[in-house]
């Protein structure tokens, strides 16, 4: 039932057009029939009267130049053409000629001075009767014409009798024509409507094809263009939506990391500050060993230096994360850079009796930010020294690939291994392999995180893994930053 109602609703315009067309056709048929029935007799009578008058005038005009005997063919022709009764009378009223009589006799006297346009003898109103004088070359007579209009009256009666049959034919033709016409007109409209409904339901799988150059064809082309534009717009919106979701997720992730970072920073600062506070309170109240102020002043100074170093590292990371940060690009000689770094870290290596072995060509140079690259390389090498056992070695190797597109830096510290689960998190901020977070056994946990930030800014790829010798760090440095 619902399907039938749906079909009726979809084809409502077909039914409307069918009914309206049927009513119009039937109304026109009735109007034509009524017009014929009521106005045809009057029209035919007027037409016949004019025709009879015109014929009489022609006979009178032509007879002036003819004798009576030569004018007889005109009278016969008029009689056959107009289906009228015609005869000629002399002054005494005797009929001297008529195509309908084979003898001549005297009849009733008719007035010879009757006018052609105004005189109509009394008698049947459904007929035309006139008597007019007619002049021949040899004689003057009276022309009497009589014609009946009875056939047209009979035709009207026949029309009335034929009305039921005519009605059946008119209704059948009207309904059939209206049905075919409504189907022809509404079929493309229904097809376009179905296509438009699919578009409204965001189904762009099919195009509307109406092969015509009229308004329906233009409408189908407009709907197809709208479908293409809408589909493209939706794709663009989906891409923008996906990008927006991705940006939101990234922003949430950054916000989460930022909160975690500040929580860790607060914890990192809280511990040394608490220690300093304890030292100072003991020194103020001269409690036990804190009476030796010089010793605890040195310890507090060391704590302040570590806090200062931590603040500098935090400021460095904050600077790198700013959108307004710009790299200071210049040509950097890598061999000179490595010499400077190893000299600065030589003191830490000598304390642990660690030998630094470098293998760097003297002509290698890149176009990059010298300060950032030096800081990152220094952190890597410093970590290698600090986390290597006494008496081990740190290898630094810098080579250029065969295609001359980038340099590869390897830093290997021997005698130590890092667990795989620690390698996956080692570049996160404040992550330390040594879980006690003792300042005497490690740094703040920001060194490798700063390396990660710098290398990403300088488009340098990096990795860390365990080898047979120890821990190997590899960085691929491009010749220039694009």
**The two structure tokens encoding residue 161:** 């009798």
Secondary structure (H, E, C), 290-338? HHCHHHHHHHHHHHHHHHHHHHHHHHHHHHHHCCCCCCCEEEEEHHHHH
Per-residue pLDDT of the chain (482 residues; tens, 9 = 90+): 555 455 445 456 667 777 777 788 778 778 877 777 777 777 777 888 888 889 888 888 888 888 888 888 888 888 888 888 888 888 888 888 887 664 333 333 333 333 333 344 444 456 788 889 988 888 888 889 888 776 666 666 776 776 777 778 877 877 777 777 777 777 777 777 777 777 777 776 677 776 667 676 777 777 777 777 777 888 888 888 888 988 898 888 777 767 766 776 776 677 778 878 888 888 888 887 877 878 878 888 877 887 777 777 677 667 666 656 688 889 888 888 888 888 888 888 888 899 999 888 777 888 888 888 888 898 899 888 888 899 999 999 988 876 667 888 999 999 888 888 888 778 877 776 665 555 454 556 677 888 888 888 888 899 989 988 889 999 998 887 76
- 334 within 8 A of 300, measured Cβ to Cβ: no
Return mean pLDDT, the chain.
77
Residue 324's CB: how many other CB atoms inside 10 A?
A: 5
Element (H, E) at 74: helix 68-82
Q: How far apart are CA 239 and CA 241, in angstroms?
A: 5
CATH number belonging to domain 2-164: 3.30.450
The pair of structure tokens assigned to 196 is: 């438009």
The number of C-alpha atoms within 13 Å of 399 and in the hemisphere containing its C-beta is 7
The predicted pLDDT at position 312 comes to 75
Rg value, the chain, Cα: 61
Angle value at C-alpha 441, between 437 and 443, nearest 5 degrees: 65
pLDDT at 11: 56
| Residue 196 · residue 207 · CB < 8 Å | no
- Burial (CB < 10 A; 0-12, 13-18, 19+), residue 305, is exposed
The DSSP letter of residue 393 is E
What is the length of the chain?
482
Residues 450, 375 contacting (CB under 8 angstroms):
yes
pLDDT tens, residue by residue, 168-189: 887 787 777 777 777 777 777 7
**Interhelix angle 2-10/163-200, nearest 10 degrees:** 100
CA distance 357 to 339: 11
Q: Retrieve residue 325's tokens.
A: 């940060």
Helices 293-321 and 447-457 cross at an angle (nearest 10°) of: 20
Q: Residue 43, Cβ neighbours under 10 Å: how many? A: 13
Residues of the chain with CATH 3.30.450: 2-164
CATH 3.30.565.10 domain locations along the chain = 327-478
Q: At what angle do helices 150-161 and 163-200 cross, to 10 degrees?
A: 50
d(C-alpha 127, C-alpha 410), whole Å: 132
**CB-facing half-sphere around the CA of 42: CA atoms within 13 A:** 5
Return the pLDDT at 296.
79
Q: Coil, strand or helix: which one is 18?
A: helix
Confidence (pLDDT) at 113:
38
Q: What is the pLDDT of residue 104?
A: 39
| Measured distance CA(468)–CA(474) in Å, rounded | 15
Alpha carbons 477 and 27: distance in angstroms, whole number: 93
Instruction: Supply 293's token pair.
Output: 């102020």
First and final C-alpha spacing in the chain? 70
**Residue 259, CA distances (Å) to 102, 193, 357, 447, 470 in order:** 137, 56, 41, 19, 35
Structure tokens at 481: 């930053």
Predicted confidence at residue 473, as pLDDT, reads: 92
Q: ∠ CA 36-40-45 to the nearest 5 degrees?
A: 175
Tell me 289's DSSP state: G
Q: What is the pLDDT of residue 110?
A: 37
C-alpha distances (whole Å) from 63 to each of 53, 116, 123, 135, 370 are 15, 16, 29, 6, 135
Which CATH number does the domain 327-478 belong to among 2.60.40.1180, 2.40.40.20, 3.30.300.130, 3.30.565.10?
3.30.565.10
Are 196 and 223 spatial neighbours (Cβ–Cβ below 8 Å)? yes
Q: Which two tokens stand for residue 399?
A: 């080579």
Spatial CA neighbour of 356 closest among 344, 365, 364: 344
For 415, residues 6+ apart whose C-beta sits below 8 A from its C-beta are 388, 389, 391, 392, 470
Strands across the sheet containing 393-400: 355-360, 393-400, 406-414, 470-478, 461-466
């Amino acid at each position: 039932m619902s399907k039938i109602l749906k079909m009726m609703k979809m084809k409502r315009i077909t039914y409307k057009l069918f009914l309206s067309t049927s009513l119009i056709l039937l109304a026109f048929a009735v109007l034509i029939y009524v017009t014929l029935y009521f106005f045809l007799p009057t029209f035919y009578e007027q037409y016949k009267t004019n025709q009879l008058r015109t014929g009489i005038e022609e006979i009178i005009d032509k007879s002036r130049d003819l004798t009576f005997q030569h004018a007889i063919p005109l009278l016969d022709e008029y009689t056959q053409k107009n289906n009228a009764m015609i005869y000629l009378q002399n002054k005494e009223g005797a009929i001297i000629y008529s195509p309908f009589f084979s003898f001549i006799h005297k009849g009733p006297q008719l007035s010879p001075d009757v006018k052609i346009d105004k005189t109509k003898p009394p008698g049947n109103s459904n007929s035309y009767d006139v008597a007019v004088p007619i002049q021949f070359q040899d004689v003057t007579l009276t022309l009497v014409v009589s014609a009946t209009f009875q056939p047209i009256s009979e035709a009207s009666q026949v029309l009335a009798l034929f009305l039921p049959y005519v009605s059946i034919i008119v209704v059948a033709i009207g309904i059939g024509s209206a049905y075919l016409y409504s189907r022809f007109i509404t079929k493309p409209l229904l097809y376009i409507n179905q296509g438009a409904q699919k578009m409204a339901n965001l189904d762009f799988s099919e195009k509307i094809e109406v092969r015509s150059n009229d308004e329906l064809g233009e409408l189908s082309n407009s709907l197809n263009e709208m479908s293409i534009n809408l589909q493209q717009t939706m794709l663009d919106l989906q891409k923008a939506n996906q990008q927006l979701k991705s940006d939101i997720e990234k922003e949430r992730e950054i916000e989460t990391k930022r909160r975690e970072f500040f929580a860790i920073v607060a914890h990192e600062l809280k511990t040394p500050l608490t220690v300093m506070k304890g030292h100072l309170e003991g020194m103020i109240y001269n409690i036990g060993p804190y009476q030796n102020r010089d010793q605890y002043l040195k310890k507090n100074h060391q704590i302040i230096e570590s806090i200062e170093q931590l603040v500098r590292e935090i400021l460095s990371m904050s600077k790198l994360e700013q959108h307004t940060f710009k790299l200071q690009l210049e040509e950097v000689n890598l061999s000179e850079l490595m010499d400077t770094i190893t000299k600065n870290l030589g003191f830490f290596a000598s304390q642990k009796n660690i030998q630094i072995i470098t293998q760097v060509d003297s002509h290698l140079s890149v176009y990059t930010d010298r300060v950032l690259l030096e800081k990152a390389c220094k952190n890597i090498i410093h970590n290698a020294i600090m986390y290597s056992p006494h008496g081990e070695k740190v290898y630094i190797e810098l080579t250029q690939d065969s295609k001359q597109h980038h340099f590869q830096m390897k830093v290997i510290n021997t005698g130590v291994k890092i667990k795989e689960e620690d390698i996956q998190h080692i570049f996160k901020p404040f992550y330390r392999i040594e879980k006690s977070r003792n300042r005497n056994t490690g740094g703040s946990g920001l060194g490798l995180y700063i390396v990660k930030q710098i290398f990403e800014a300088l488009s340098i790829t990096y990795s860390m893994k365990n080898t047979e010798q120890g821990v190997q760090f590899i960085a691929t440095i491009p010749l220039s930053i694009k």
